[in-house]
Amino acid sequence: MSKESQLIKFTKKGIYCPQGKFYLDPWYPVDYAIISHGHADHARWGMKRYLCTNDSKPILKHRLGNDIKVDSLPYNESISINGVKVSFYPAGHVIGSAQIRLEYKGYVVVFSGDYKTQPDFITVPFEPVKCHTFITESTFGLPIYDWKSEKVLQNELQSWVKTNQANNRTSVFLGYSLGKAQRLMSLLDGCDEIFVHRTIHNLNETISASGISLPKTKLWSADLDKKTFQNKIIIAPPALLGSRMLKRIPNVAIALCSGWMQIRGNRRWQAVDAGFVVSDHADWNGLISAVKATEAEQVYVTHGSQAVFSKYLNEIGIATKELKTEYGDEVLEKAESETEKLESK
């Protein structure tokens, strides 16, 4: 039996560590789940016990229930689980996100979860981790994806708001309540008053209560006088696109914020006034640099452009295999939409 196979197995319930007797971001109920971050395709309900980062713990309790049994660790500290050394390292994806490092008898496996190598104004920056085996996402694993700096993004978003205000329009930005919303808040901070949908507001309160500083926002609700947020900024979940709540806003200008906006022909452009390339995942060069930095002997590529990215890595001499999982944008979109509906009640 290889050292790798002692440490990870790919099963119907998810990535399993037989020595440690736990799973990494499992998609079906298990006894013990180690969670990379709070997005609904990675942190699912029904586990008997959870382990995550300190910053993810309040998010998991908010989304999965206060009665869940969850332990947590700070970044860069480890515990031993049945002889397996487990630790978390920053993934730069969303608040609390982590790469999960496993070590057993000197052999190291790192599960990246979702990650972004480009620094932003709100998340703990990505930290490369050397290992023997690396499991990487490939959401934007095509050369066309090349992100702008955070400062350039900030200027683009704030300029759009000012143009809208000059035309007596209210600026609405659509982004997931966990991750994208907080990042948009950081990019728009200081531009004007920011109103957020209830799902974002409730999650912001949870995050702030745990000691993390967030930009100041106000709750946007249907019973507010429309003059209150006229010409201001609103951040709402993508699920609200086409909703009555948005249609009631006079002179509204709607922007969708996603890495998919890199491709102008994307269907998501059709129902909005603008699209901004704001992604919480690594771009093509970020993925390559992250993989190279691990110096891994074996790489597994999960959700996204698996075929193209794994082919490229093999061509440059990095042993790579494709790995099918139940993570990814389509799964996330459906799961986050359902989660946000529950959180808004």
Give residue 272's identity as a one-letter amino acid code: V
Q: How far, CA to CA in Å, does 239 sit from each of 23, 150, 202, 251, 327?
A: 30, 25, 16, 20, 19
pLDDT per residue as tens digits for the range 123-162: 999 999 999 999 999 999 999 999 999 999 999 999 999 9
pLDDT per residue as tens digits for the range 248-272: 999 999 999 999 888 755 555 567 8
The pLDDT value given to residue 337: 56
Classify the C-alpha dihedral 103-27-301-15 as positive or negative: positive
| Angle between helix 198-209 and 180-188 (nearest 10) | 90
Query: Using CB atoms within 10 A of its CB, is residue 244 exposed (0-12), middle (13-18) or buried (19+)?
Result: exposed
pLDDT confidence tier of residue 242, bands split at 50, 70 and 90: confident
pLDDT, the chain, mean: 92
The pLDDT value given to residue 110: 98
CATH class of the domain comprising 150-276: alpha beta
Percentage of the chain beyond pLDDT 70 is 91
CATH class of the domain comprising 3-144+280-343: alpha beta
Is the distance from CB of 53 to CB of 34 less than 8 angstroms?
no
pLDDT per residue as tens digits for the range 33-64: 999 999 999 999 999 999 999 999 999 999 99
Helices (H), the chain: 3-7, 57-64, 150-166, 180-188, 198-209, 226-229, 244-247, 284-294, 306-315, 329-343
pLDDT confidence tier of residue 324, bands split at 50, 70 and 90: confident
pTM across the whole model: 0.93
Q: Where are the domains of the chain?
A: 3-144+280-343, 150-276
